[in-house]
Chain A
Amino acid sequence: MERVPILKIGDILLVSIQLDMSDQTAVQLQDDLAERIVATGCHGVIIDITALDIVDSFVGRMLSTIASISKVLDAETVVVGMRPAVAITLVELGLSLNGIRTALNVERGMELIAAARADELEYQLDDDPDAETAIP
C-alpha cells in the first residue's frame, strides 16, 4: 500500500500529497501524522496539494479531519498550493473547507504558522509577569 511521506522541517511537518487519495491511504496518513506530531512535538502542519488535480468532498473531509486532529494536538494546519481550477470547482460545489487555513505556497504557509506561533508566545509572555506578581 502506498504511504504519503511526512517530512520534518524545523518546527513544522510537511505533507506533500502526490497521489490520488484512497480511503486506506487517508486513514494511514491520519494515523502517521498524529503519531509524528506527538513524537516530534511539532507545532505546525503544512499540507501541500499542488499536485492534486481533483479535490472532491472526500479529500475535503480528509483535510478537515487532519486539521481537527492537529488542533487537538496543539499544531496549526495550513493547506497550501491549491490550484485555481480546484478552487473554482470547490466553490461551484459549495464546499468552502471551513476551519482550514490556506496559503498560496509552502513559504507563505511557513510564515503563517510562524506568525500564529509568535502571537501565541507573545500572549503567554504577556501572561507571565501577572502570574509572577500574583504568586507572592
Chain B
Amino acid sequence: MALNAEESGRLAALLGGHAEQVTARWTEIVTGSLRGRLSQAELRRQVQDLHRAIVASGEQGAIDLSAENSAELRAALSELSRGRARQGFSATETTISVFALKDVLAELLQDGGGANALHDYIAFSKLVDELGLFTFESFVRTRESLIADQAEQLLELSTPVVKLWEGVVAVPLVGTLDSARAQVVMERLLQTLVDTGSPYAIIDITGVPAVDTQVAQHILKTVVAARLMGADCIISGIRPQIAQTIVALGIEFGDIATKASLADALRHVLRLTGVETARRQPRRDI
C-alpha cells in the first residue's frame, strides 16, 4: 500500500510546490461538507498541519503510515479525528477532511501531471485511502473511550448514599436499575451501613421511571441482605403509576415497610427510634 521513495518524492514536490493553492482548495472542499460548523480559520490551520505533515514525511523518503518516520503524520491525523469526535462531528464529516485531498490531487495532476499522471494518481489515492482509514479508526477509538468514560461517570454519579439522621441513611435511586447498577447500589448501601453503624436505611425510588419484576427483585435482594446484617429497610417514593404496576405484576413486598414519600419514611423511622418530632410554637412578637 505504501508509496515508494520515488512516488513519495513526487507527491511531496507536487504538494509543496503548490502549497498555497492546495491548502486553499482543500479548505474550500472541506468547508462545503461541514456546513459552517467549524470556523474557516481553524479549518485552515488543521488543513495546513496535515499538509505540512504529508510533505514532511514525503521528503524523508517512502511514506509508510505504520513506519517510524510517519509519527508526525499519524499524530496530525489523530489530533484531527480526536478533535472532531469530541466536538460531535459524524464519521463522514471527519474522514471527508482527509478524502478531500483526492479531489485536490486530481485537479493538480490534470493541469500538469505529465506522462505518468494516471499512475501517480492511483498511487496517491491509495495513500489517501490509507490515511482516511487511519483517521476513521482513531475517530471510533475516541468515541468509544468517551462512551466508556460517561458510563463510568454515570455509575458513580447516580448512586450516592446520604445520611438523613443519626442512624438513618437514604439511597435516592435515579434512572433505570439494571443488574450492574443494582449490584453497585447494594454494595455501597451495605458498606455504608457497616461504616456508619446505621440500623435504618431508606430506599427512595422516586427517580426510577419504571418498576418491573426484575427491578423489584433487585430491591428485595438489597432489603434482605440489609436485614441479614441487622439493618431495616424502608422503601419510599412510590408514585401512583408505580403502585398500580406493582399490584398488576403481583409483586409482594411482604413485611417491608413502604411509604409514599421520603418524608413519611423518615417520620416512620424516627418514630421507631423514639425521636419526638413536635411542631415548634410560632414566635409571637410582643
| Residues of A in contact with B (beta carbons under 8 Å apart) | 78-80, 82-84, 86-88, 90-92, 96-97, 101-105, 107-109
| Contacts of B213-246 to chain A: CB distance below 8 A | 221, 224-231
Q: Does B207 contact A (CB under 8 A)?
A: no
Is B226's CB under 8 angstroms from A87's CB?
yes
Whether B229 lies near A96 (C-beta < 8 A) is: no
Contacts of B224 in A (CB 8 A): 91, 96
Q: Within the complex, what minimum Cβ distance (angstroms) separates B123 from chain A?
A: 62
Contact, CB under 8 Å: A87 / B199: no
Query: Any chain A CB within 8 A of the CB of B177?
Result: no
CA distance A87 to B30 in the complex (A): 60
Residue of A nearest to B228 (CB): A87
CB distance from B225 to the nearest CB of A (A): 4
Q: Which 8 A-B pairs have the closest CB atoms?
A: A84-B190, A102-B230, A103-B230, A87-B225, A87-B228, A91-B225, A104-B230, A82-B229
Contact A96 B194 (CB under 8 A): no
Contact A91 B230 (CB under 8 A): no
20 other A-B residue contacts (CB within 8 Å) besides A87-B228, A104-B199: A79-B230, A82-B230, A83-B194, A84-B187, A84-B193, A84-B194, A84-B225, A84-B229, A86-B228, A87-B225, A87-B229, A88-B225, A102-B227, A102-B228, A103-B199, A104-B194, A104-B198, A104-B229, A107-B197, A109-B230
- Give 18 pairs: A residue, B residue, CB < 8 Å, sorted on A: A78-B230, A82-B228, A83-B229, A84-B191, A84-B193, A87-B225, A90-B228, A91-B224, A96-B224, A96-B228, A102-B227, A102-B229, A103-B199, A104-B197, A104-B199, A108-B197, A108-B199, A108-B230
Q: Contact partner of B228 among A97, A107, A109, CB < 8 A?
A: A97
Rounded to whole Å, the gap between the CB of A94 and the closest CB of chain B is 10
With a cutoff of 8 Å between Cβ atoms, the chain B residues found around residue A103 in the complex are 199, 230
- Is residue B186 within 8 Å, beta carbon to beta carbon, of the partner chain? yes
Which interface class (under 10, 10 to 19, 20 to 34, 35 or more) fits B?
10 to 19
Task: Specify the main secondary structure of chain B where it touches its partner.
Answer: helix
Q: Is the interface of A mostly helix, strand, loop or mixed?
A: mixed
Expressed in whole angstroms, the Cα–Cα distance for A71 and B168 within the complex equals 30
Give the CA-CA distance A104 to B231 in the complex, in Å.
7
Closest to A92 in B: B221
Hey, which chain A residues are within 8 Å of B227, CB to CB?
96, 102
State the CA gap A82–B224 with chains docked (Å): 13
B198 and chain A: residue at smallest CB distance: A104
Smallest CB gap from A112: residue in B:
B230
Q: A86 to chain B: which residues have CB within 8 Å?
A: 228
A104 and B227 CA atoms in complex are apart in Å by 9
CB distance from A83 to the nearest CB of B (A): 7
Most chain A beta-carbon contacts within 10 A, residue among B221, B226, B229: B229
Chain B min CB distance to A24 (Å): 26
Q: How far is the CA of A78 from the CA of B226 in the complex (A)?
A: 15
Residues in A neighbouring B229, C-beta threshold 8 A:
82-84, 87, 102, 104
Q: Which chain A positions have C-beta within 8 A of B191?
A: 84
Specify which of A87, A91, A105 is in contact with B197 (CB 8 Å cutoff): A105
